[in-house]
Amino acid sequence: MELPGALQLGELAAAFAAVPVFPLFDTAYFIVSVLYLKYEPGAVEMSRRSPFASWLCAMLHCFGSYILADLLLGESPIHYFSNNSSVILATAVWYLMFFCPMNLFYKCVSFLPVKLIFVAMKEVVRVRKIAAGVHHAHHQYHHGWFIMLATGWVKGSGVALMSNFEQLLRGVWKPETNEILHMSFPTKASLYGTVLFTLQQTHWLPVSEANLIFFFTMFMIVCKVFMTATHSHASPFAPVEGFICPVFFGSVSSGHTSHHNQHGPSHEASYQPHPPVKSKEELNEGTRKRKAKKAE
């Protein structure tokens, strides 16, 4: 019974990996990407004030991962824009999202049950892009593990990694929101997924690519749908990271506290601050006041 079940699961994974993402899944990917753009403060006003800038931001949200991956691999960053069907489809989604009469398109796709379906479909595209990025980098750099990791990572989370540049197009500069400093769940998941696909591509992980795509896609769908439905920003990796990171990288709070505990009291006891030295102007002012007092 176990062998037929395994064969059926393998066939299911192979069939799932062979499903084309264009146009159905790509449309869902564009809808969710542009929907998140519309959530940004001032995005609607910008679309009225400068439609071209709004369109550029939408294209970065839809194709930012391809642009970064092409830059890493030494290809033209506008190479993907030769795919006219995808660009036209993304442009149509952008126009309907911002300029549809009575905002009907936005109201339909932002309705939570419909939105959850699109979010799940977007994760299908994300995992396919990670796998394709690692495979592409492996084809060009057969033993370049770090190149595979970098390419797969930007393929899965390129939009978030380009967020500061996209903000500049909207006239916003928030360097403190750098995705490298504050990784969101999709960025972290793309990084961890890239590690798995790199290990699989280099034959260190004894799993077929179709099975890895299937299981990692299911994981991403469950996590993202749950987080979207509950409006949660908590990462499912947080418990594991909270246990592992202090062991390997130390604790910021404990190190900072111990530093003060070790050196703070001794410095406070031994160091007596000197009175501030008066400037020449202050001395002259004091002399004038004394002379005036004597005259009185």
Q: What is the pLDDT of residues 189-200, one digit of tens each?
A: 999 999 999 999
- Counting other chains too, the contacts that 233-239 makes at CB distance below 8 Å and 24 or more residues apart are 233/184, 233/185, 235/184, 235/185, 235/188, 236/185, 237/185, 237/188, 237/189, 237/192
**Span 47-74, average pLDDT:** 94
pLDDT over threshold 70, residue 24: yes
**Span 84-108, average pLDDT:** 97
User: 61 vs 12, 38, 157, 203, 274, CA distance in Å?
Assistant: 31, 11, 10, 33, 57
Encoded tokens for 58? 């939408």
Q: What is the mean pLDDT of the chain?
A: 85
What is the per-residue pLDDT for 3? 52
pLDDT digits (tens, 9 = 90+) for 203-217: 999 999 999 999 999
What is the per-residue pLDDT for 237? 87
**Span 1-21, average pLDDT:** 78
What is the per-residue pLDDT for 233? 82
**Span 154-181, average pLDDT:** 87
Pick the closest to residue 30 from 101, 83, 102 (CA basis). 83
Q: DSSP label at 177?
A: G
Contact at 8 Å (CB) between 103 and 112? no
- Between 141-145, 187-191, 266-270, 287-291, the lowest mean confidence (pLDDT) is in 266-270
Q: Helix, strand or coil for residue 174?
A: coil
User: 197 vs 2, 84, 134, 183, 226, CA distance in Å?
Assistant: 26, 29, 7, 20, 24
Domain ranges for the chain, please list them. Answer: 17-234
Q: Helix, strand or coil for residue 55?
A: helix
Pick the closest to residue 114 from 225, 246, 268, 258 (CA basis). 225
pLDDT over threshold 50, residue 262: no
Radius of gyration of the chain (CA): 28
